[in-house]
């Protein structure tokens, strides 16, 4: 039996951007639709800054899409009357991409004449809007080869919505090839409870009232075994047996293979055709990673344990949802004790802290030029600007007097209620935190994320100065000031922002 591969990029960015879907300890079907105009803060980070999300798995998922379409062309269907809607959808998505990611995508033109550039994939294309001969393939297929979202276009006529076009390669136990041409109400007929409780009718009426330029979004979820994006009905013989297999594996394998699968679904009324574009972006996180975020672990365990059988059966997880709940509950006991700050070492979070919405203003300090530094600071800024006045200070390195002076000026300008978020390498972050405390910042006002721990500030007890040294606590190094062999102790001063070091016995004896 072949299990789909584990995510190639289950890293800190994947966790911090994961759209954890549960807001309570119980889950029931609901419309749960909200305007897509704000960032959602979670226990591990945030998501929802953009309608189209381009992340580290961009090329991987596009390759997966191409493979699925090559094997099964029915995943891409456009009924004859939907041609204008596909052009409308393509141009809308291109505008979104070029606005959200101006360094990676470009769209220039007006009227019928346009030039598109995808710098990630090395694509350039001039096209005439509405003229299929000016694109290498049809508009919907063309743009879906450049985004990670599945797309369904809903035509609205005779008071109903119909799924009349789309590219769907990552379906979660449904068949787009079967559903194309069906009404919205017919498609959702098999979903338990939604008709009796009126959920699907309310959703149908809400979508019909959508207006252009006002996108909405919702989340949906299930569990998937392995990082298998395509769990469509057509491929059930490949993945269906995994539901029995997973009940018999050991705990380590269970936590590695079972993924929480979340769809972020956007609803957009297209401005020219009037069709509704339904975007479905799929995110997956293995339970072993999810359990590392304590609020997520605890809440997901409660949701899985309480989920009614008819809903669990429809989601295809009834055979192992109880074990998933038990596994997550047991993960609290399996987890190694977290080192405590009083042991003498700074504790760095695995993912950036979310912006503290209790702040009245925000100071974001980015020190250094690595891509992760830019990404973290950009995410903090986007979230902070939704809450209050936000200032960004970008510095090269705190080994330079000019940068230290700029940092001091930024701290001096801060007012009561500020929240200070610092990102950079370990030396720079520790130095900046010490400077912030010296300027009067309180512990609850400070948050830091370290992108690199290869260097650190070391205070030599003999020459009584602090130096930037490549190394780690416990190592024997040469002091840049007095040239002694010094041992860096596991003893850190938050006030000084440095580690204590003193003459090494090994160094003296040599």
Residue-wise pLDDT tens digits, 314-338: 999 999 999 999 999 999 876 554 4
Domain range enclosing 444: 361-509
Residues 186 and 239 in one domain: yes
> At 212, is the pLDDT very low, low, confident or very high (cuts 50, 70, 90)?
very high
- The domain spanning residue 432 has which CATH number? 3.40.50
d(CA 502, CA 267): 62
d(CA 257, CA 4): 9
Residues 420 and 497 in one domain: yes
Which of 308, 329, 350 is the endpoint of a domain?
329
**Whole-number pLDDT of residue 495:** 79
Which of 306, 329, 352 is the endpoint of a domain?
329
Does 450 map to a domain?
Answer: yes
Does 107 map to a domain?
Answer: no
Residues 317 and 430 in one domain: no
Which residue intervals of 335-456 are DSSP H helices?
371-384, 401-413, 426-438
> CB count, 10 Å around CB of 344?
15
The radius of gyration computed from the CA coordinates of the chain, to the nearest angstrom, equals 26
Residues 494 and 385 in one domain: yes
Residues 307 and 371 in one domain: no
Does 124 map to a domain?
Answer: no
Residue-wise pLDDT tens digits, 76-117: 999 999 999 999 999 999 999 999 999 999 999 989 999 999
Contacts by 99-107 with C-beta closer than 8 Å and gap 24+? 100/50, 100/51, 100/52, 100/54, 101/50, 101/54, 104/54
Does 133 map to a domain?
Answer: no
Residues 303 and 421 in one domain: no
> At 474, is the pLDDT very low, low, confident or very high (cuts 50, 70, 90)?
confident
- Among the residue ranges 61-75, 292-306, 341-355, the one predicted with the least confidence is 341-355
**Whole-number pLDDT of residue 141:** 98
**Whole-number pLDDT of residue 101:** 95
- Among the residue ranges 68-77, 85-94, 388-397, 446-455, the one predicted with the least confidence is 446-455
**Whole-number pLDDT of residue 30:** 81
Residues 264 and 394 in one domain: no
Indicate the number of domains in the chain: 2
Burial of residue 45 (CB within 10 Å: 0-12, 13-18, 19+) is buried
Does 275 map to a domain?
Answer: yes
- Among the residue ranges 73-77, 121-125, 223-227, 347-351, the one predicted with the least confidence is 347-351
pTM for this prediction: 0.68
pLDDT above 90 (res 176): yes
What percent of the residues of the chain are helix, what percent strand, and what percent coil, each to the nearest 5? 35, 25, 40
Does 354 map to a domain?
Answer: no
d(CA 57, CA 475): 37
Residues 272 and 402 in one domain: no
Does 356 map to a domain?
Answer: no
Known active-site residue 218: yes
Q: What are phi and psi of 353, to 5 degrees?
A: -65, 145
Does 112 map to a domain?
Answer: no
Ramachandran sector of residue 247 (left: φ over 0; alpha: ψ -120 to 50; beta: rest): alpha
> At 11, is the pLDDT very low, low, confident or very high (cuts 50, 70, 90)?
low
Candidates 368, 481, 372, 498; CA nearest to 431 is: 498
Residues 386 and 445 in one domain: yes
Residues 299 and 370 in one domain: no
> CB count, 10 Å around CB of 349?
13
> At 227, is the pLDDT very low, low, confident or very high (cuts 50, 70, 90)?
very high
* Non-local CB neighbours of 498 within 8 Å, separated by 6+ positions: 430, 431, 434, 456, 457, 458, 459, 466, 492
Ramachandran sector of residue 66 (left: φ over 0; alpha: ψ -120 to 50; beta: rest): alpha
d(CA 202, CA 212): 20
Residues 236 and 314 in one domain: yes
d(CA 116, CA 111): 14
Give DSSP secondary structure letters for 308-363. Answer: -HHHHHHHT-TTTHHHHHHHHHHHHHHSPPPPPGGGSS----SSPPPP-TT-SEEE
- Among the residue ranges 62-66, 325-329, 484-488, the one predicted with the least confidence is 484-488
Residues 195 and 297 in one domain: yes
Which of these is catalytic: 28, 193, 202, 218?
218
């Amino acid at each position: 039996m072949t299990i789909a591969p584990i995510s190639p990029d289950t890293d800190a960015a994947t966790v911090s951007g994961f759209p954890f879907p549960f807001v309570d300890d119980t889950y029931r079907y609901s419309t749960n639709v909200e305007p897509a105009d704000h960032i959602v803060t979670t226990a591990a980070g945030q998501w929802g800054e953009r309608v189209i999300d381009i992340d580290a798995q961009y090329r991987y998922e596009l390759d997966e899409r191409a493979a699925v379409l090559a094997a099964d062309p029915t995943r891409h269907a456009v009924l004859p009357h939907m041609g204008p809607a596909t052009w409308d959808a393509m141009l809308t998505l291109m505008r979104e991409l070029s606005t959200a990611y101006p360094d990676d995508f470009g769209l220039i033109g007006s009227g019928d004449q346009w030039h598109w550039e995808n710098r990630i994939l090395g694509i350039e294309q001039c096209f005439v809007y509405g003229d299929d001969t000016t694109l290498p393939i049809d508009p919907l297929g063309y743009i879906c080869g450049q985004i990670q979202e599945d797309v369904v276009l809903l035509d609205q006529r005779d008071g109903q919505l119909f799924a009349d076009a789309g590219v769907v390669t990552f379906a979660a136990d449904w068949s787009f090839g079967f559903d194309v041409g069906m009404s919205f109400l017919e498609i959702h007929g098999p979903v338990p409870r939604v008709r009796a409780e009126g959920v699907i009718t309310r959703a149908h009426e809400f979508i019909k009232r959508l207006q252009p330029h006002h996108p909405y979004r919702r989340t949906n979820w299930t569990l998937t075994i392995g990082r298998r994006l395509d769990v469509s009905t057509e491929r059930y013989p490949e993945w269906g047996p995994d539901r029995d297999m997973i009940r018999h594996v050991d705990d380590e394998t269970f936590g590695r293979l079972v993924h929480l699968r979340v769809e972020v679904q956007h609803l957009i009324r297209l401005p020219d055709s009037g069709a509704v574009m339904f975007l479905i972006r799929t995110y997956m996180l293995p339970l072993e990673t999810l359990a590392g975020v304590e609020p997520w672990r605890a809440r997901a365990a409660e949701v899985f344990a309480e989920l009614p059988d008819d809903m669990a059966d429809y989601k295809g997880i009834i055979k192992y949802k109880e074990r998933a709940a038990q596994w997550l509950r047991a993960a609290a006991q399996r987890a190694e004790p977290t080192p405590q700050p009083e042991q003498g070492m700074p504790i760095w979070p695995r993912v950036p802290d979310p912006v503290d919405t209790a702040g009245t203003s925000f100071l974001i300090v980015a020190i250094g030029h690595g891509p992760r530094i830019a990404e973290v600071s950009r995410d903090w800024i986007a979230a902070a600007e939704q809450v209050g006045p936000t200032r960004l200070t970008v510095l090269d390195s705190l080994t330079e007097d000019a940068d230290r002076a700029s940092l001091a000026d930024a701290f001096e300008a801060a007012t009561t209620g500020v929240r200070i978020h610092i990102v950079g390498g370990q030396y720079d972050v520790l130095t900046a935190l010490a400077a912030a405390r010296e300027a009067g910042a309180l512990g609850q006002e400070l948050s830091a994320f370290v992108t690199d721990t290869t260097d650190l500030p070391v205070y030599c007890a003999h020459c009584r100065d602090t130096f930037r040294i490549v190394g780690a606590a416990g190592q024997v190094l040469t002091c840049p000031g007095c040239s002694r062999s010094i041992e860096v102790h596991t003893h850190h001063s938050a006030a000084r922002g440095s580690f204590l070091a003193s003459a090494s016995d090994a160094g003296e004896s040599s």
